[in-house]
Structure 1
Amino acid sequence: MRVSGIQEQADLVLTSTRLSAGLSPDSDLDGTVRVWTGLVRPGGHVAVVVRAHRSQDGELVDIPTAVIRAAVAAGLVPVDRCVALVARIRGTRVLRHTSRDQVAHRTVLVFKAAERHESQAEVAVSTQSEQLTRVVA
């Protein structure tokens, strides 16, 4: 995918990923991650919403770890891993939005793109410092 005029322009890329039937977690993640890294500006962030996936034999597939591995290989630095509740809001009530076969949450992975002059190690150190500052403040 090539989007004319917005390469490395986005401060934040918010996306989701899921597997098609019969595919492995590594099947096309490299290409997908290249799209994200092509859109996000140096120093920008990529947030990826990952839904649970089960193989045909019912085993839970570890998609978040595969996404992290592909993102790191593409030069993105992991910043955070969060859980997002899947629910509907009706008035003041929070209603679960799941069926018996669904999971009531999604995993959200947040990555930072290195500045042009920064190495991945420098980004990791500055990201850890930012997280410590948020916790202390």
Structure 2
Amino acid sequence: MRGGGRSGLRPVVLVVAVLAPAVLALGLLVAELTDYGGGYGAFSVTVERQDEPQLMGPVMVPPPAQPDRVYEGLIPAPKRAATEVRPMPLQAAPAQQREPQPARTASPTVGPECPDDWSDTWLWELCQEDARRPA
């Protein structure tokens, strides 16, 4: 037996693949002939509409039967305390005593040491430029 016994399955799959569309088409034809599904097919009878279609627009609705709150007149607003607003006089800021800071002197800075394996590369040139730049 070659193919592990699957050769007997091939004709069955082929028959099912050929018959499935035929069964589906037959079912649709029966549904059309029996007017199943509301009559939207080729054999159905259509009826024209007699009334005018209504356009959708805003609809007036009645007010609620019992509103959450009912007010009987004006609602008083909370009263603010009446204070006279005057401009504040400008005052000079108190003079601050600054302590003299020592002058900055150039200290001998040790430049970055470039690794020897960077020689003859763009990294060496970048490192040398960075060493020449003032701090």
TM-score relative to the length of structure 2: 0.18
More strand as a share of residues: 1
Larger relative contact order (C-alpha < 8 A, sep ≥ 6)?
1
